[in-house]
A and B are shown apart, each in its own frame.
Chain A
Amino acid sequence: MQERTYRGRGVAKFVGKGEALVSRQGISFFGGVDPTTGLIREKGHDLCGQDVTGKVLVFPKGKGSTVGSYVLYQLKKNGHAPAGIINVETEAIIATGCILAEIPLVDKLEVDPISAISTGDYVVVDGKEGRVVVRRG
């Protein structure tokens, strides 16, 4: 088993862990993710049909309507929130949603998270320390 630790910026200061789900595309939670099931439903998205529940979502940054912050909150209440989020560089929609919903969020890793982390890796997102641990194999 291989384990690596990367430093980053802790934006939402909570801790979570789970299997990674990695996308090269931005995610719009409003319209793009079903708040009652956690399924990604944006047509043409490389994660369309995938379930975000309990996963560590890795993607460049949020996009779309600011209502997306509330969708993250609703996912949490419905038990379908991701365990953590890693962005290349986050923005206000994801940052707001993660803080409201207490989902750990780390960005600005010392490496590009989209190439350093693969779907299926086991990842710990430590928003308190601004750190990500990736286990593979």
Chain B
Amino acid sequence: MYLSREEERMLSGEEGLAVQKAMQLLTALGEVFGAERMVKIESAQIAGVSYGNIGDAGMEFLEDWADLGGKVRVKSTLNPAGMDLDKWKEMGIDDEYYQRQMRILKAFEKMGVEITCTCTPYLVGNRPRSGAHVAWSESSAVVFANSVLGARTNREGGPSALAAAITGRTPCYGLHLEDNRVPTAIVKVEARLESIFDFSLLGYTVGRILGSGIPYFKGVLVRDFDKLKIMSAALAASGGIAMFYVGDRRRTADKLEKVCVDQRELELSREKLSSEGKPDLACIGCPHCSIQELRDLARALKDKRVKEGCALWVWTSQGVYDQAKDRGYLRAIEGAGGKVFTDTCMVVCPLEKSGYSHMVSNSCKAAHYVPSTSGLKATATETYLVLESVMEGR
């Protein structure tokens, strides 16, 4: 693998131990994946933040790297943590969990990472320009960055994204190379697509069928960012997909896989993401809600209130939360008995501490992960049905 003089200096330890270790990691990964050189990056999105997810192992590693003097060189933002940084007690989080989560965030802060704690960095100031090379490690944001924003990133792990932030570089392979960014499968959709949930279900179905590769949804015209956002998340949950195309495009790979998605295939996904019994916890915001989604939710909750024994938990970023507060959407949601949490989500927080037993969401990604991450039953369905299951007229 070719290294520039500056990169050689980093590897030899002339720029400190943290930079050296970061470069060791990146060159080794570069060799594993057959990269010929490094490429400079414009931003990093770092996963592996929730204490419940990375545990003491990850916490100790991050503290050690921060103590070695690691400092990020590019704009670096953070994935959701395991709790709302203010309202953690309302989520049933205990003091020990809180303390350890804060140690993780302090380590990141010491390294210069912005404590954004969201899976939608592109909604709160980390929005790369088209063509920019970045190192992102939130799977839904990776898909969104490659497919909607036109940025270039592989599916990074937490440590490799952090190492990229510390060196300002990532090995140049995979989706950093133009030749690898062509569709490998053509998806014919024979079903009506209207709601946000339809697009989540479509993404989940295609991820399930393909597993990997770059699907091209020929003729599917969609410009609504919220639909593209939820589809990105679902594609990366049921499969290892990092990029897709919609609309019209000519250039494709020579060997093109063909997939047809009809109503029957969508129903099959829906059955996989359904549980018996009545849901008691409605969750909206996987990926984190945009301001438009909070507006729509505020409107849908007019003259409604949360039923006894049920809850409505909404998840967003601190940045969007502040906007929603100014525009009165928060008051509307909270007035109906809902709670709006920031910095975390139903997938990475210890949802089992909530005391509820069956989550319902309009996000297939959320329904896919929640049973294994927190043991709750989970169902995915249309947004209005999510709300109907826990709300009643006022």
Instruction: List residues of chain A with CB under 8 Å of any chain B CB.
Output: 9, 11-13, 35, 66-67, 69-71, 73-74, 77, 90-93, 95-96, 99-100
Contact between B159 and A71, CB atoms less than 8 A apart: no
- 9 A-B pairs with least C-beta separation: A74-B57, A70-B57, A66-B157, A70-B58, A99-B25, A73-B61, A96-B159, A95-B32, A99-B28
- How many angstroms from the CA of A111 to the CA of B61 in the assembled complex? 35
Q: Is the interface of B mostly helix, strand, loop or mixed?
A: helix
The reply to whether the CB of B53 lies closer than 8 angstroms to some CB of chain A is: yes
- What is the CA–CA distance of A70 and B104 in the complex, to the nearest angstrom? 13
Question: Considering the chains assembled together, what is the distance between the CA atoms of A74 and B21 in angstroms?
Answer: 16
| Given contact pairs A70-B55, A74-B56, A93 touches B157 in the complex (Cβ within 8 A) | yes
Q: Is A67 a contact of B53 with CB atoms below 8 Å? A: yes
Shortest CB-to-CB span from B222 to chain A, Å, is 30
A residues near B55, Cβ cutoff 8 Å: 67, 70, 74
Which residue of chain A is the closest to B154 with respect to CB atoms?
A92
Q: Which residues of B contact A100 (CB under 8 A)?
A: 21, 25, 61, 159
Write out the residue numbers on chain B whose beta carbons fall within 8 Å of the beta carbon of A77: 60
Mask: chain B, 23-39; 1 = CB below 8 Å from A; 0 = not:
01100110111000000
Contact B31 A96 (CB under 8 A): no
Q: Which residues of A sit under 8 angstroms from B58, Cβ to Cβ? A: 67, 70
Note all chain B residues with C-beta closer than 8 A to A90. Answer: 32
Bound-complex Cα distance A98 to B369 (A): 28
- Of A11, A73, A96, which contacts B57 at CB under 8 A? A73
The docked-state distance in angstroms from the alpha carbon of A70 to that of B25 is 13
* Chain A residues within an 8 Å CB radius of B56: 35, 74
The yes or no answer to B175 lying at the interface (CB within 8 A) is: no
| Contact assessment for A92 and B60 in the assembled complex, using a CB-CB cutoff below 8 Å | no
Asked if B121 lies at the interface with its beta carbon under 8 angstroms from chain A, I say no
B157 close to A96 (CB less than 8 A): yes
List, in ascending order, chain A residues with CB within 8 A of B61's CB: 70, 73-74, 100
- B107 to chain A: closest CB distance in Å? 13
User: Which residue of B21, B28, B60, B159 contacts A11 across the interface (Cβ within 8 Å)?
Assistant: B28
Question: Cα distance A67–B58 when bound, in Å?
Answer: 8
Contacts A67-B53, A70-B58, A70-B61 given; does A92 touch B31 at CB 8 Å: no
Question: Is the beta-carbon distance between B24 and A69 smaller than 8 angstroms?
Answer: no
Chain B residues with CB below 8 A from A35, complex form? 56-57
A136, chain B: closest CB distance, angstroms: 29
Q: How far is the CA of A74 from the CA of B61 in the complex (A)?
A: 8
Q: In the assembled complex, which residues on chain B have CB atoms less than 8 Å from the CB atom of A91?
A: 32
> Do residues A70 and B29 form an inter-chain contact, with CB atoms below 8 A?
no
By a CB distance below 8 angstroms, the chain B residues around A11 are 28, 31-32
Q: Is the CB of B48 within 8 A of A66?
A: yes
The distance in angstroms between the C-alpha atoms of A35 and B58, with both chains bound, is 12
Interchain Cβ contacts under 8 Å between A and B, 24 examples = A9-B31, A35-B57, A66-B47, A67-B48, A67-B54, A67-B55, A67-B58, A69-B157, A70-B48, A70-B54, A70-B57, A73-B57, A73-B60, A73-B61, A74-B55, A74-B56, A74-B57, A77-B60, A92-B29, A95-B32, A96-B157, A96-B159, A99-B28, A100-B25
Q: Does B158 contact A (CB under 8 A)?
A: yes
Q: How far is it, in angstroms, between the C-alpha of A71 and the C-alpha of B32 when the chains are bound? A: 20
Chain A residues, Cβ within 8 Å of B47: 66
Known: A73-B57, A77-B60. 19 other contacts (CB 8 A): A12-B28, A35-B57, A66-B157, A67-B55, A69-B157, A70-B55, A70-B57, A70-B61, A74-B55, A74-B56, A91-B32, A92-B29, A92-B32, A92-B33, A93-B157, A95-B28, A96-B25, A100-B61, A100-B159
Known contacts: A35-B57, A74-B60, A100-B21. The answer to whether A69 contacts B159 by CB under 8 A is yes
Do A67 and B57 have beta carbons less than 8 Å apart?
Answer: yes
B211 to chain A, nearest CB (A): 15
Complex Cα distance A13/B31, Å? 12
Shortest Cβ distance from residue B248 to the other chain A in the assembled complex, whole angstroms:
34
